[in-house]
Structures are given as C-alpha cells and as structure tokens.
Structure 1
C-alpha cells in the first residue's frame, strides 16, 4: 500500500512539474521528452533491414525496456562505480578534443601549409638568443641588439658579414648564417612564416621564435621538389682520397661513353653496399633529408636519366643518376598528412588560441580578491624550484576568481597550482610581480578551459547527444554484465537447475552415424564394403582407408538416414567407387550439461533477462502521454 502511494505521489509530482511541457514517457521518476525518442528511433533507421525492427510500436517497447534498465542501474549505484566513471571520462575527454580547437583555423593552417609547399626557399639568418621565459630586461636587451643589426642591414651592410659578426647561432662560423633550402615544417612556425612572407633577395624585419630574435634573408626560391629519387655510385675516400678521386673520374668517363651501363657499374664499383645490390638505387627523399652537397647535386638534375659529374662530400665521392622527380601532389592526396603535421606542430596553438578567445567571450569572470595576495607566500625558493606550500595553505579560502557566477576558485587552488609551476631562475625573484601576473593568466585560462570542457553539453547539442549515448550504452553494458551475463556464468547451481527443469528442450532425436567412402582402388573398395557389412568402429574405418580412400562421417536424423539403414551400398561413379552405410545408431537422449553448456548458458541468460524485465515492469511503471504518442505514432506508422 505504501509503495503504491509513493509511486502515485511521484507521478503527480512529475506531472505537476511538466504541466507546461509535452513529455512522452515517465518511467519511474525519469522523464522522456518526444525529441529524445524520435532522435533515437530515426538515428539509424535507414540501416535497419528487419521490417519489424523498423516498426515504431516495436521500437517503443525496446526503448522502454532500455530506459527501465538504465533506471535500475542508477538505482543500484553502477553509475558511481570507479571503473565506469574512469572509462566514461576517458571517452568524454577524447570526444571533447575537437571542441578544443577551432576547425576553421585548422583548415586555414592546412591550406596555408599546402600553398607554402609549392616553393622551396634558400635562406640565411641572424639570431640573437633569448629564452622564451627570459626576464623582461633580458628580452629588451636582445630586442635592442637585433634592431641595431637590422638598422645596419637597412643602411647596406652585408648580410653574411653581419651574421659572422653578431649572430649567436652556434653554427654561424661554419655556415656564415646560410641555412640552405627549406620548405614547410622544416623550421619553427614563426621562422617559416617570416621566410615565406619575405621576397627573394630581401630580408625580414626582426621577429621572435622560442629560441630568440631573428632576421631571415631569402637568397633564392624555386618550384618545390616534393620527392626525388636517384641512383648513385659511391667511392669512399678512406686513407687515399686522391686515388678515390681518380677512380671516380675513370668511372665517369666510362659512363659518358655508355650512360646505360650505370646500373652495372654501380653493382661492380659502388662502395655503398646496400644500394650497390640494387644497381645504386636509393629510396626517394625530400629536401633537408640528405647532407647539403648531396642534396644540391640531386636537385640540380633536371631530366630522367641525367647523370651528374663526380662530386665530393666529407666522406666520399659520388656520381648520381636521376630516376624521378615528383612534384607536389594534389591537395586531396596530402591533406590528411598536412593536418596531422599541423596538429603536432606549434602552429596548432593558433587554433587553440581561437578557442580560448571564444571561451573568454562566453563566460563572465569576477575577481573578488586580488591574486597578488599570493606574493606574500612567494620567496626566493620559488625561483629555485624548492618552494614549499605554506603550512596553512588549505585555509586560504579567499575567492580570487568566479566563473560564470557558478564556479568559485580559491587562493588555495592558486597556491597549489603555483607549487606545480615553480621556476628555475634565481635572478627572476626581483621581477616576481610580473612573473606572478603571467602565471596567474595561465592559471586563469586553465580554469576557464576546464569549466568550458565540463559544460560542453550546455553549448553543443551534438556533443550532449553523443556523450549521453556512450554514457547510457556503457552503463547498460555494465548493468547487463552484472545482472545477467556474469550471474548466469557464476550461478552453477542455478544453471544446473534450469537445465534439469528444461531437459525436454534439449532432447535430441534418434540419429545415425553414416560413413561415405570414396576410393579409386578396387581392392580397398571391397575391403571397406566388407567392413561396413560386418560393422566397424569409425576409428578402425579411418585406419583401414589409410591414404587410399577419402572417408566422410555424417550424423543424420531418421529421415536423412533412411536410404542407408539396413544396407551397405557400393556404386561406381566414373573412375571411383563410393561405399556408404550406417556405422551406428544414436538413441534419442538428453545430452549431459557439459556437452551443451554453451546452448544452455545462452538460454539461461535469456531466462534471467526476461525475469529481470518482468521485475522492472513492476519496479519502474511507465506512464505514457497518449496525445503525444499518438502524434508520433501516426507520423512514423505506415
């Protein structure tokens, strides 16, 4: 009586709350709106082949059962299970990734990368080193230095001379600032962008990368070579470089007379053993994948079959033959690869920054108490990576940030975050205010981003639907595992009882084991015929047949076995004999449980599921809004 009254009260309460809404079902205390049912019903309707499963009445019953099971799963606390929450959280994080970058910005970056792929640039640069996290004074000092160089270049100073005199690139003494040919993704993004914006023969304004300040000069440009493939003949200099030089000249003179002999000569003389086996053929490569001297010679070859003059690299002498030069492929062919590279490159921050800008615009922010109060806790040890949280840090309950009038962030949260982001620069202590400002901005953005991630369902209906489908599906799987599948497997007594109570369901009728033997040997045919007439064990029959006959043993019911019962047949079919007869009779019986455990277990699971559903019908009664249901039914009923 109490239970009936309780459900009546709950129904009335739910109906009162929904008086302004057109609900479709109330299942227990859960309300289902028509939009949810229609979305679930129509989502994969085109893929369903079975007409019954397309029927809206049939689907309604499935849907109600589905919701009742979810309601019971939650009532039993399965949605609070640690493993469930961990697996769902991982899925949700993966699903959220595409909402943490601006797809339009990514597409622009991919297209930009493809456009830059069309040109190779030969560049030089001058660099003044300054770390990303440098103090303001050090940054200013480096900025003044690079600007001084820039002014001298503007007044006509030679780029190479300025590089040798001022550049802090460790390799400047060897390369005089010359970096060689580059293409997209060969340098950090700011450097690449500055280079591709600078006309041939000109130098850029100073710009910054994570390494420091640069000025880049574009010495030359050419249509890009995507991949080139060459064959080579290589002679190692070894202890007698002059001998190697003379020998390579002799090989070259022979090639001038017989260019087609390149493969033969490579096999015979090349000291690169791996490529020599293939006639000198090397795998295709792009720019900056070989040493410059080798790459320049390969790229200079224009036509298939062209052969270079002998040239020298630090360890060897080479002759190259051009096999093929591949231009940049069409956009559709490289789009996926470019997208992957963009997302793994620092330029992907631009797409993430776009999202961060949108997040800042979306949510209101209040800062009741200044975060700068944290300064009183910061001493020199913070800048030596040995700072410890104050003993009373957990008591620091000042609210320093309120997001969207919803989430409060406390001083203790900021202190904990600072502990994980200590600095390793003792000189920075005197600039602690500026550094704290910078760190707080990072902290604030992290909190905003976290709030955004946790509220994606409020902003994106497609995200809400997809994440809910996975949540419900995973919860239902865990529920069925616990209540049906695992219970059936572990309940050995229940399974045995079910087997005994339903024994007739598994009774097998009288059957016959029939042997059908084929052989082309007349003597073997006679022996097998005689054995079948006298009766023979199947194992003995296989031994008797040996490799002279093909034996097939089949189990037939009485109707199928009728032609074979009571007689052994021997027939000539072409050049072969076919002998057939009954080996033995299998009387009608119920197989032992161990022989049919799989079938019985499957039936037991179905039994448990039906029993469970009968209980859920009582436990979670269904109330249907008939007006809404009739409208939906008439919409989809054919």
Structure 2
C-alpha cells in the first residue's frame, strides 16, 4: 500500500511532546475512540487497522503501543497541517487522489464469480505454452458491417486455400497484413496466458496441434491461427552467470577481446575452477558478482524476465550445477549456471499476481459486463432504448463527428431506462454524445448504438461508485489511507526535503555548525593492480616505471595474451573501507607486491591524502540528509503547539483484546 510505504519511510522522527488526556467513555458509532486530532475522532478499529498493516508481528504491550502511537501522532500532525493549508484542494493532488480512488474502487466493481472463473482459466493456461503462427486481415474495431464481412470473407478465402494444401507460412508471407509476416511467415514463437490479446489467446489454446482456426476477431482484425506445438510451462529457475560486458557501439577489437575473455573463463571452468570464484573475479555484472553471479529467480510465475537468448540457455540446462557454453546477448557474453529449478507455482501462490493481470487486461471488460448485468437484476432495471433510439437515428447525421457539432433540440425528454428508482432521460444521453471526443467517422447508427451502451454502463457504474463508501467500510478506510499518504508526501516535500536542498544559506550554516561530523579518514589516490599470477604484477611494475604509459597502456600490454592476466582499479580510496588497502602502510609511488587470499596486488600511490575535514561539496549528500532531519524535528515542535492530539490510553492499552 502507498500509505504503508509513506508511513514506514517518513515516520522515523524524534518524539514530539503532546498532552495525553481523554474521556475514557468516548465512542463513535458504537466503536470506542482511541485518539482525536483537532477534535476529529479515530476509533479503535480504525487505529488497529493501521497498526496491523504497519507491524508484521504486532505487539500489544504498553511499551510497543506507546512507541507506535508517537510515530502515528507525528504522521497525523503532518496530515493535519496539510489539511489546514488546504493541500487537498491543489488541482494536481486532486487529480492524483481521483486516480487512486478509481484504482481502489475497481475490485468492488466486477463480478467476483466471473473473476474467479477467469482466474482459474488463466492459471490452467499458464501451465502450458503454445507455439503458433497467424495471418492477419486488418479491420478497425468500429468497422461497418459491410467492411467486416469483406474482411471475414477474405480471411475465409485464405483458409480455404490452406485447407486445400497451400503452405500456411507461404500464405502468411504473401497475404498477411502483419508487417512482420513477410520476414517470419507469421511465426509468433511460444506464448502463454496474458501474452496475446484474449480472443487470440483463447482460440490458440482451443486448437489442436496442426489445426488452423476459423477467422478469429480481435481488436486488430481477423486472424487465421495455426498451432504447431504445445509444451508444458518451463517453470522458475534460479541461475548464476558470468558476464563480460559489451555495448552496441564497441569497436570490433573490443568485442573480440570480450569474446576471448569469456572463452578463457570457460576453459578455467572446464579445468575445475569454482564458478562462484570466477564470477567474483571476472564478471562485469556488478549486481551479481559479489554473490558469485547469482540472479533473482525468473520464468513462469515470477515477474523477473531475461532476454530470450539468456532464458533459452538457462532452461536448456538439465541439472542443478550444470553450466552453459559461452553465448551472446545484447548485453555481452555470458556463461550461465543452473542453481535451482521449480515448476510453475500453485494456483494459491500465483492467484494474486494473476488477478493483477486480469484487472489490467482485456479480460477485465468481461468481469465488468457481468457485474453490470448483475446490478441490473438487483436494481429494477427497465430499458426503453429500442423505442427511444429511433429519434436519435433520425435526428443525428454525420456532422456529429465534426468539432463544433450542434445538438438537435428534443421535442420531448422521455426516459430511456430506469435503474434503482431513477429515470435516465434522452437529454442526458444527448449531452453524453455531445461530450464524446471527436473521432474518425463511422456509420452513424453504429456510433449511436455504441454510445448508448457506454452511457448506460457509465450511469450504472457511477451510481454504484457513489454507494461504495457506505456499502464497504474497508474501501472507505483505504481511501482515507491514500488521502493521508498523498498529503504527507507533498507537505514533506515542501517543508523538509526540497527546503533543505533550496535553502543554501541554511545548509551552509548547518554544515559549519556540524563540521566535526564530516571528516575524511586517511585516503589513497592511486591504482590497485591485481592478478592471480605474481609474474604479471612484476611485468606491470616494470612498465609502471615508464612515465609515458598510462594504466590502460599497461593493461593492454600485460593482457596481450590473455584478458585474465591483469586487472586494475583507479580512484581515491578510503583506506579503512578498502579490504586490499586497510591495515597496510604505503608510500607515494610504486609499492611492493603483496599477496592477500588467492591474489597478488601492486599499489601505485599518486598521493597519500591524510584525514581532514570534508568540503560541503564533498559531503553534500550526507549534509542534506542531516539538515532534513533537523528541519523536520523543528517543524514537528511547531506543529505540536499548533494542533491538538489527545489519546485515550485506557482504550489504547486494550487494543489487542
């Protein structure tokens, strides 16, 4: 939840002193009141809901509750101040809150039984992957019946040729209106649930291998689909890799060196060296090398995806511990090792993830349509659209698609449908048409019929939305959480975060007053050369005596035969933080070669930089953070005097009962 994120991130401040007094018998709608903020009551249940969301292992002892209450009071102080300053009237925040309201309402505006059906169907399909090709005949979604029939017959004629023995791929290359078909003959590769539009997916999963579908209508047009294979879902794999990075603009010799390096690493693997050790020593993937190259799990049932070449190489490995030959992706050269494999997760494990996809995809329309049909049954729906629409057919022409369309005048404003005791009249529908966005012309009757469906659905859904807060207390509470979270973020940005950055004078004074907190320890400006072979460092040390050679020149010379011979790291190093440098003495210039662990090191010191104060520029990030904390602490003192918070301790300490 966004609110939880805000609460955890921003409510870590010092305690503001507030008087704690309360009438122990206070109640709100039968629920005991645990706190008031400027007279606004927060009930025991409301507080408990927030407390449980922010504590995975909640405790109800006095100390734990007191500690959380102090954090919660600071949160409420900031929200109270934002409301006092009318942050909730700022247009951008109103739009943001409206967007969140729409998102939060969605689960309450679908047919739960239909959703369950779609959930199970999607999971069943996720168990397998389909390999298919298609032929597309393009058709707009709002095409007139005559154009729809032409496109359908064209697709049907192509199917007849295929049924008589014509090659599907050849027909796709010559006749499909998918631009890629000329190159790939309509081949789409393997896919699973949610990776194609729903009608296409449904048709493909219902076909047998080798079967060609009848024309299938989607938002793109008509498709002929041929399924060539079906296979079980690959499941989830945990893998490690060694990567030698390349980039698109690399020179050919750089790419050749990278390929040479990965091949040399592969030889070391075959000679029995540790994959993890080689990854730590040579991989260019900074995010995984410290973990021996291990990556997050990817594949079916996860949100993690890799490029196709990487996934194919990983899933081709049959046993844990197996590793691939070197292969190329857009990111460079890789060797991948299989660490663990799990089949597709259970329905229970994946249902939440599937539900999110349902809500975002074209399946959501089915749940919404089923929900509207259910609402009509429950709320005395009566429709006279078939009679009333005649007037619209007769009085609206193609000028409706022009920018300055003038609405015709109604003779009588009759109702078109009744719902939940309310009449929805012709004038309202006419206004709905007038407010529609300008779009390309379509047959007027089609346009009116489509708009009537949209208007009817919109009015029924708006009626239901207006009742959600009364019908569902959990929804009302969630709205409040998002409201408070948005206001908190905005006022913190204005009063603390941005202020600390923009107040350059205040920042400078704060830095000067706390200079002792921003000090460098001993540092070394230099180069650290390393190798598994001492002779390589001896060669590097000899080359270092030649003043005209740079670090890169030395690397190129020593690595002429192998890219694994020598590595180098250049910069300003904090000696106590660097495993190679700490607890050792160095002189300016070239130092003696030494061994640490399995490697040899040679350090060239350009400058020994003694401990001393940092400049504001050098410490800016840390200073800004500390200054923000200072501003927040002072601001909370002001708020505690401006706003009144009272806590009912008797109710608070019974919160866990």
The 8 Å contact of residues 164 and 172 in structure 1, kept in 2 or not, is answered as yes
Distance in 2, Cα, partners of 1:106 & 1:196: 19
The 8 Å contact of residues 401 and 409 in structure 1, kept in 2 or not, is answered as yes
The 8 Å contact of residues 225 and 325 in structure 1, kept in 2 or not, is answered as no
Cα offset for 1:177? 2.1
Tell me the secondary structure at the aligned position of residue 370 of structure 1: helix
Q: Which has the larger radius of gyration?
A: 1
**In the alignment, what sits opposite 2:142?**
133
TM-score for both structures, normalised by structure 1: 0.52
Distance in 2, Cα, partners of 1:246 & 1:97: 55
Distance in 2, Cα, partners of 1:218 & 1:368: 42
The 8 Å contact of residues 104 and 475 in structure 2, kept in 1 or not, is answered as no
Distance in 2, Cα, partners of 1:469 & 1:144: 49
Cα offset for 1:304? 0.9
RMSD of equivalent CA atoms? 4.6
Distance in 2, Cα, partners of 1:248 & 1:322: 18
**In the alignment, what sits opposite 1:256?**
270
- Structure 2: gaps (5+ residues): 1-28, 32-44, 46-88, 481-639, 649-657
Q: Does 1:357 align with 2:373?
A: yes
Cα offset for 1:322? 1.2
Deviations along 1:185-219, whole A, 9 cap, x unmatched? Answer: 22222222222222334333321221222233333
Q: Does 1:102 align with 2:111?
A: yes
Counterparts of residues 209-608 of structure 1 (less than 5 Å): 209-235=218-244, 236=246, 238-240=251-253, 244-258=258-272, 260-286=273-299, 289-313=305-329, 316-361=332-377, 362-367=380-385, 370-375=388-393, 377-384=395-402, 386-390=403-407, 393=409, 397-403=412-418, 406-426=421-441, 428=442, 431-450=443-462
Cα offset for 1:438? 2.6
**In the alignment, what sits opposite 1:157?**
166
- Change in CA separation of 1:398 and 1:201 when aligned onto 2, cut-off 3 Å: same
Tell me the secondary structure at the aligned position of residue 232 of structure 1: strand
Distance in 1, Cα, partners of 2:195 & 2:136: 17
Cα offset for 1:436? 1.8
- Change in CA separation of 1:178 and 1:421 when aligned onto 2, cut-off 3 Å: same
- Change in CA separation of 1:419 and 1:242 when aligned onto 2, cut-off 3 Å: same
Distance in 1, Cα, partners of 2:456 & 2:645: 55
The 8 Å contact of residues 359 and 449 in structure 1, kept in 2 or not, is answered as no
From 204, 214, 217, the equivalent of 2:213 is: 204
The 8 Å contact of residues 369 and 400 in structure 1, kept in 2 or not, is answered as no
Deviations along 1:40-73, whole A, 9 cap, x unmatched? Answer: 79xxxxx9xxxxxxxxxxxxxxxxxxxxxxxxxx
Distance in 1, Cα, partners of 2:99 & 2:296: 41
Higher relative contact order (CA 8 A, sep 6+): 2
- Change in CA separation of 1:227 and 1:92 when aligned onto 2, cut-off 3 Å: closer
Deviations along 1:245-299, whole A, 9 cap, x unmatched? Answer: 55544433332232x5323333444444544444333332226933322222222
Cα offset for 1:443? 2.4
The answer to which structure has the higher helix fraction is 1
- Change in CA separation of 1:244 and 1:432 when aligned onto 2, cut-off 3 Å: same
Cα offset for 1:367? 4.9
Tell me the secondary structure at the aligned position of residue 371 of structure 2: helix
Tell me the secondary structure at the aligned position of residue 162 of structure 1: helix
TM-score for both structures, normalised by structure 2: 0.51
Cα offset for 1:467? 6.9
Q: Does 1:146 align with 2:155?
A: yes
- Structure 1: gaps (5+ residues): 1-38, 42-46, 48-82, 458-462, 475-596, 607-638
Cα offset for 1:370? 2.6
From 194, 198, 204, the equivalent of 2:203 is: 194
The 8 Å contact of residues 389 and 415 in structure 1, kept in 2 or not, is answered as no
Distance in 2, Cα, partners of 1:171 & 1:375: 41
- Change in CA separation of 1:284 and 1:209 when aligned onto 2, cut-off 3 Å: same
- Change in CA separation of 1:299 and 1:368 when aligned onto 2, cut-off 3 Å: closer
**In the alignment, what sits opposite 1:523?**
none
